[in-house]
Amino acid sequence: MANIGIFFGTDTGKTRKIAKQIHKKLGELADAPVNINRTDLETFLSYPVLILGTPTLGDGQLPGLAAGCEDESWSEFVTQLQSDSLSGKTVALFGLGDQVGYPDNFASGLRPLYDTLKSCGAQMVGHWPNEGYTFGSSSALEADNFIGLVLDQDNQYDLSDERIEAWLGTLKPLIL
Burial of 28 (0-12, 13-18, 19+ CB in 10 A): exposed
Sign of CA dihedral 13, 50, 126, 84: positive
The range of the structural domain enclosing residue 155 comes to 4-174
**Count of other CB atoms within 10 angstroms of residue 29:** 15
| CATH number of domain containing 158 | 3.40.50.360
Which residues does 108 contact at the CB level (< 8 Å), separation at least 6? 56, 59, 60, 97, 138, 139, 140
Query: Residues 6 or more apart from 27 whose CB is under 8 A from it?
Result: none
For the chain, the domain total comes to 1
| pLDDT tens per residue across all 176 residues of the chain | 789 999 999 988 999 999 999 999 999 999 999 999 999 999 999 999 999 999 998 888 888 888 888 889 999 999 999 888 999 999 999 999 999 999 999 999 999 999 999 999 999 999 999 999 999 999 999 999 999 999 999 999 999 999 999 999 999 998 88
Please give the Cα distance from 3 to 75 (Å, whole number): 25
